[in-house]
Structure 1
């Protein structure tokens, strides 16, 4: 069997990984449920430990670049797959912002609720203020949140336009300081050391009308995948004329990060925020 064939899948490997994933998940569900019910600090730290183990079980090699800002932070990321949840969840001690339908999904909806996901109705304009307040109250409590502002998943080769409505929370001030917003780019780059390219990337990306179960089974069968995550310099709304300008900045920085990762070009520091008035420089920068 050649290298490409090995990378593309083994049913035995898939069955073993799936079994271990289910056992690991079922083992931790009661503990996380109790931690959430009692509001223990564990409910905020256990998910990162859980996702880290899941990434190793599934064969995801997560390569991280840049410096992660201290919370509370609104992390803004591109989105191409349910695997992004495992990758980012293993590195960021926070909760996700997800569309409301996710909460009703079998099994995965339960996992989302146990991670204290903030569910939003993206199509209801009348609920924007409520969603902003729900997100803001979690940030006020010291939690970091992870937002996918594309509103859907992409093919992983590009970053879709960002929806600006949820950037309204960026105007919130935490203890008198503007909320920290950190762009994060994520890209699947290699499959068993082979550059993924357009041909292989759909094995990671889940988008359009793809069926979940076959895609998930294929992901468990695959060889090891390298996923690159880059934390870009954090910014605040104070450096921009509007939330739209902030969203455009995040989109540009993330798009550039994804393009560099999938092309294999070395990472370079992202441009500084385009301030409309003098503002302090960001306190953290890419490594």
Structure 2
């Protein structure tokens, strides 16, 4: 299992008063209703979509986009995107700083996440992940061939797969070294001629007066309290998604070089946007 990143500095505590609880309810209830209703619609639509199109999903991803775009409106968070979304088959790779990354990356692009196998059993989140077509992988060397076969099937079906090469979330103020293991799947003879990999930077700006790591979710931080903190914020911050030019897999013979180039692009976007707040 991939170790979880931890910081030498503990996250700054955030107090949630009565007003915060009220704000959390006023935002949380609509968000829950939006997610639940669209999830039910998605499952019903899949009953028609799956027998006709199989692994391809020509309709249900639009429900995911709808939920994610409106989630930021409900949270009161600013959302902006920069750069061109690639139209090629292939993968998207990004830095990982928060559970909000799922909403940020799905709000503009029709993508399918690659997640560790344990996520499938997480209450609520696992069900949602399965419904949206997430690819679950066990991080075992013995499963490498099975992963390549799964990636090949999904990519040839036109899916864009998204994974976090850091292998863990952080305080959203840095970019860790990219692990190159999964990049190898895009350099196989069957996929390489068609696959491209697009680096994407996800950068959060904390609410005014809040700690700079406000949206970061790492270490042993529990999902529930962190979500409550985000919902209860008096003033919301913002998130910016930066799409960098994609790399063509056919131009690479080494997965480590492809991973390093993607890492450099993602880091440049995060560092440039955060400025002095960038932690390395």
TM-score by shorter chain over 0.5:
yes
Is 1:85 equivalent to 2:95 in the alignment?
A: no
- Of 115, 119, 127, 1:98 maps to 115
Mapped partners of 2:194, 2:244: distance in 1: 18
Q: Shift of residue 190 of structure 1?
A: 3.8
| SS, match of residue 64 in structure 1 | strand
- Of 77, 91, 96, 1:74 maps to 91
- Of 178, 187, 190, 2:203 maps to 187
Whether the aligned pair in 2 keeps the contact of 1:76 and 1:250 (CA below 8 Å) is: yes
TM-score, structure 1 as length reference: 0.82
Aligned ranges 1:191-202 → 2 under 5 Å: 191-192=207-208, 199-201=211-213
| SS, match of residue 212 in structure 2 | helix
Mapped partners of 1:211, 1:175: distance in 2: 38
Match of 2:175 in 1: 159
Post-superposition Cα deviations, 1:234-254, rounded to whole Å, max 9, x if no partner, equal 111222340110001111111
Question: How much is the aligned-residue C-alpha RMSD, in angstroms?
Answer: 2.3
Cα distance, 1:119–1:57 mapped onto 2, change above 3 Å: same
Structure 2: unaligned runs, 5 residues or longer: 1-13, 50-56
TM-score, structure 2 as length reference: 0.84
Whether the aligned pair in 1 keeps the contact of 2:192 and 2:249 (CA below 8 Å) is: no
Provide the aligned length of Structure 1 versus Structure 2.
Answer: 254
Q: Shift of residue 50 of structure 1?
A: 1.3
Poorly superposed stretches of 4+, deviation over 6 Å: 173-176
243-252 vs 219-228, which deviates more?
219-228
Whether the aligned pair in 2 keeps the contact of 1:140 and 1:174 (CA below 8 Å) is: no
Q: Shift of residue 81 of structure 1?
A: 0.8
| SS, match of residue 249 in structure 1 | helix
Mapped partners of 1:210, 1:51: distance in 2: 23
Match of 1:15 in 2: 25
Mapped partners of 2:186, 2:275: distance in 1: 31
Post-superposition Cα deviations, 1:143-173, rounded to whole Å, max 9, x if no partner, equal 1111111111111111111111110122257
Match of 1:127 in 2: 143
